[in-house]
Structures are given as C-alpha cells and as structure tokens.
Amino acid sequence: MSDPVHQLRAVLSKYWGYDSFRPLQLETMQAVLAGRDSLVVLPTGGGKSLCYQAPAMCQEGTAVIVSPLISLMKDQVDAARACGIPASLLNSSLNISERREVLQELKAGKIKLLYVAPERLTPSGLLTDLSQTKLSFIAIDEAHCVSQWGHDFRPHYRELYRLREGFPDVSLHAFTATATERVRLDVIEQLQLKQPEILIGNFDRPNLTYRAENKSEVVSQIDDVIRRHEGESGIVYAITRKEVDRLSETLKYMGHKVRPYHAGLTDKERKDNQEAFIDDRVTTIIATVAFGMGIDKSDVRYVVHAAMPQSLEHYQQESGRAGRDGLEAECCLFFGGDDVMMWKHILGDKEPEQYRHAMASLNKIADYCRVSICRHQALVKHFGQELDADCGSACDICLNEREEVDESLVLGQKILSSVYRQQQRFGVEYTAQVLKGSNEARIVQNGHEKLSTWG
C-alpha cells in the first residue's frame, strides 16, 4: 500500500477537487487509517464529514456512519454520491423493499459509506447484518448526543456501546462540534473507546462578531440588526413557540421578510418555511432551537438570540450557524433577568442531578452575558482553550460598545442596600422598581416606598 498521506491527498483531489487539508483533517484521517480509536472535536464548518469519507475511500470494506438526523443523513448521502462515492443509508424513512436492496448491496460489498440511525443498531436488527459485512471502521457523528452532560442527549446513543462489544476489532471514531471536557470524557467512557487519539480543533470563529446586550425593547433591537443586514440571511432564536409566533408577526408587520419555525407547525409548514429560507425567498427565520441542525446554508450573516439560550454549548452551536462561508457575520444575544426564570421553569421537571447541571450551565451563560471580557476569549475558555490575544475588534467589549455606568461602586452599594432592606426576599425587577421610585401597588403594600433606597 502506498503512503497514507499520499493516498489521502489523491482521494481528496479525485472525489472533491480539494488540494489541501483543513486544520486537523489529516491527523484525523490518519488515525482512522491506522485503525486507532479517536475522539475528534472540530468546530462547525471545520470539515468533519471528509474526515471519515476520505479514509473510507482508501480502505477495503464499508464504513458505518452513525448519525442522529434523518434529514442530515439524506443530504450527506446525496452529497457523497454526487462526488462519485457509493453511499447509502438505513433508517426509518426506507420501505421494506428499499431496505432489502441496501442490505443486498451491503452484502455484495458495493457500499463504501453506510449512514445508519442509532435506533437501528439493535441485536435483532442491523448489528446482525453488519456482522456479516466487512467493515473498514465506524464513525459516530454528533457524538455529544451520547452524554447526558451534553446539550442534546439522545437515549438511543446510549446503546452504541454495543458497537464496541459487537465489533471489538473495528475502530470507533467519535466526532462532534461541541464538547466540554466533561462531555469528552463521558463520550470516551460511554462508547468504550480504547486509548483514543484525542484531536481538538480551534474553537474560535474569528469571522464572527459577538455582541450581548440587555433586553430593553427587544423587537426594536432585532429590527436594528435586520436593518444592518438588509437583504441578507439571518436566524432569530426565541425560547418558546409563542414568542416565535409573536416576533414573526410583529417583524412581518414591520415589513421584514420573515417566516416562523417551531415544533408546533405542521411538517409541511416547517418544510416550506425552511426551503423559502434556503432559497432566499425570505431573509429571516424566526425559530426555536428546533431549527438549524443539519441545515447547510453557508451565507447566514446574522444570528440573533431574542433571549438567553440555556447554555454556552447551545450558544456556540446556534451562533455558529452564522458565517460558515468564512465571511464576516454577526451574533447578537439579547438577555434579561426573566430569561433565567423562564429556563428555570422549563427545566424544572428534570431529575435533581440533571437539574443542578442545567442550573450551573445557565449561570455560566448568564455570567458570559454580564462580564466585560472579550467574547471570543470567554467562549473559547469555556471549551478549555485560550487565545493569544483578545479579538480587538470583533466583539462589543473590544469595540468598547458597552455603556459604562458612572460611579459603579456607589450604584452597587445602593442596590445591595435596597436588597438588604427588602429583607432579601424580592427579585431583580422588583428591586429595580424600588430603586427607581415606583408607586406600584405591591411596593406600597409592602411599605417599600418608605425605604431610604426608594427612588
């Protein structure tokens, strides 16, 4: 066999027409070819798919790719076939005869890349079929789904340890775009990776400009962002379906070309709205987090969060959908005290340990919103990395856009003093009203208009 690097280069050029590797692609592909288990964390747009597609073309046998989303799988198979790679998929979208056909091709050794849904990998199902096939390796895409500490835990992923048991001699390769140290360790443990090669890419996205602003008039704040990007594509995320509907109606009324997207719409509505966005018939999608995974639109110029997301992992992934073409794009996060309350309410039915974890994640993103350190620096730090220098000009902090308050020490003292005099029993909104000197009924009922901090 010729030198693996040479072989990989030839495949890259023959099937994709690319002449160089993106950062860590070569190292990742070499681990695959060497049959060494690996865990690879590369940011969105980093080129993960090639990391398993190219080695699959250099080896005998079929590479199995476990992927969580049916829509994503189909796109990947179509894209691979368009490059001349024999790829197929097995998931619940196939009927019996289509399924039989794929299995026959598999047995005949005609498939180089087989995408499968995790729920198919049961002992009575696909595991048996695969045991009669020559496998080159197994790749697990979106591997963070295996960990309950990740932001997108999927119970079916938990069953994937069966792959290690069923195929002890086939190497396993876990890929994800987002994983904190804890999630990485959990992925290794859950999948029973054997002394894996761990490759972690650079998390910074220098072409994105990050801003985080207090919510005042959120609709007009969003309106400003959309106007800055006249005619360009963008995504606005909101927490609830109700808020998505409210924002879409208001922004539409204001003359913007927007469409909503959330789980309460019919499949057809969702599909139509998504296609209108991809084909540039509308500029802006207003969505819950249900939107985005597997959507390959590289020219998204802005991602707005109309409220604080539930964790920095979510934020990194959602904001990361901006600027995948490498050109400049903007990410604006509008936050308010009520967002934390909203998340506490939504996450309230989790098991105690998971609830604690969710609250810790919530606090981290709330800190991110408030602190005055370079946002690029803060984001990569969350993923265990550090930049040599602050971004300088690609975040609100470095651009000096944040309003500074005069005499912040005295102001802080006044706030704490009011909290103390209110017997530490009232929240942010209430305290702000007292400090501003409101005559609201509840304040008068509590006698708080008589406090020295009132007004």
Report the interface residues with ligand ADP, using CB under 6 A: 18, 20-22, 25, 42, 44-50
Minimum distance, C-beta of residue 20 to ligand ADP, in the bound complex (Å): 6
Contact criterion met (CB below 8 Å) for 12 and 53: no
**Residue nearer to ligand ADP on the CB measure, 53 or 248:** 53
Minimum distance, C-beta of residue 28 to ligand ADP, in the bound complex (Å): 11
DSSP states of 36-79 as a string?
--EEEE--TTS-HHHHHHHHHTTSSSEEEEE-S-HHHHHHHHHH
**Residue nearer to Zn ion on the CB measure, 374 or 443:** 374
Between CA 276 and CA 93 the distance in angstroms is 23
Minimum distance, C-beta of residue 387 to Zn ion, in the bound complex (Å): 9
374 binds, among Zn ion, ligand ADP, none (CB under 5 to 8 A by kind): Zn ion
21 binds, among Zn ion, ligand ADP, none (CB under 5 to 8 A by kind): ligand ADP
Per CB under 5 A, 378 contacts Zn ion: no
Between CA 380 and CA 288 the distance in angstroms is 25
With CA atoms as reference, report the closest residue to 248 among 444, 81, 238.
238
Q: Token digits for 309?
A: 């997301």
Minimum distance, C-beta of residue 54 to ligand ADP, in the bound complex (Å): 9
Contact criterion met (CB below 8 Å) for 114 and 65: yes
Displacement of CA 140 from its chain's centroid (Å): 16
The amino acid at residue 368 is Y
Per CB under 5 A, 65 contacts Zn ion: no
**Residue nearer to ligand ADP on the CB measure, 24 or 106:** 24
333 binds, among Zn ion, ligand ADP, none (CB under 5 to 8 A by kind): none
Residue of 116, 130, 374, 379 that binds Zn ion (CB under 5 A): 374
The residues in 396-415 that bind Zn ion, with binding defined as CB under 5 A, are: 398
| Number of residue whose CB is nearest ligand ADP | 47
**Residue nearer to ligand ADP on the CB measure, 18 or 153:** 18
Buried b (16+ CB within 10 A) or exposed e, 100-134: eebbeebeeeebbbbbbbbbbbeeeebbebbeebe
Contact criterion met (CB below 8 Å) for 7 and 58: yes
Contact criterion met (CB below 8 Å) for 285 and 261: yes
**Residue nearer to ligand ADP on the CB measure, 30 or 44:** 44
The residues in 83-112 that bind Zn ion, with binding defined as CB under 5 A, are: none
The window from 122-130, 186-194, 278-286, 372-380 that contacts Zn ion (CB under 5 A) reads: 372-380
State the burial class of residue 38 (Cβ atoms within 10 Å of its Cβ: 0-12, 13-18, 19+).
Answer: buried
Minimum distance, C-beta of residue 116 to Zn ion, in the bound complex (Å): 42
158 binds, among ligand ADP, Zn ion, none (CB under 5 to 8 A by kind): none
Minimum distance, C-beta of residue 51 to ligand ADP, in the bound complex (Å): 8
**Residue nearer to Zn ion on the CB measure, 262 or 375:** 375
Per CB under 5 A, 39 contacts Zn ion: no
48 binds, among Zn ion, ligand ADP, none (CB under 5 to 8 A by kind): ligand ADP
Minimum distance, C-beta of residue 79 to ligand ADP, in the bound complex (Å): 8
395 binds, among Zn ion, ligand ADP, none (CB under 5 to 8 A by kind): Zn ion
DSSP states of 250-305 as a string?
HHHHTT--EEEE-TTS-HHHHHHHHHHHHTTSSSEEEE-TTS-TT---TTEEEEEE
Three-state SS at 219: helix
Residues that bind Zn ion (CB under 5 A): 374, 390-391, 395, 398
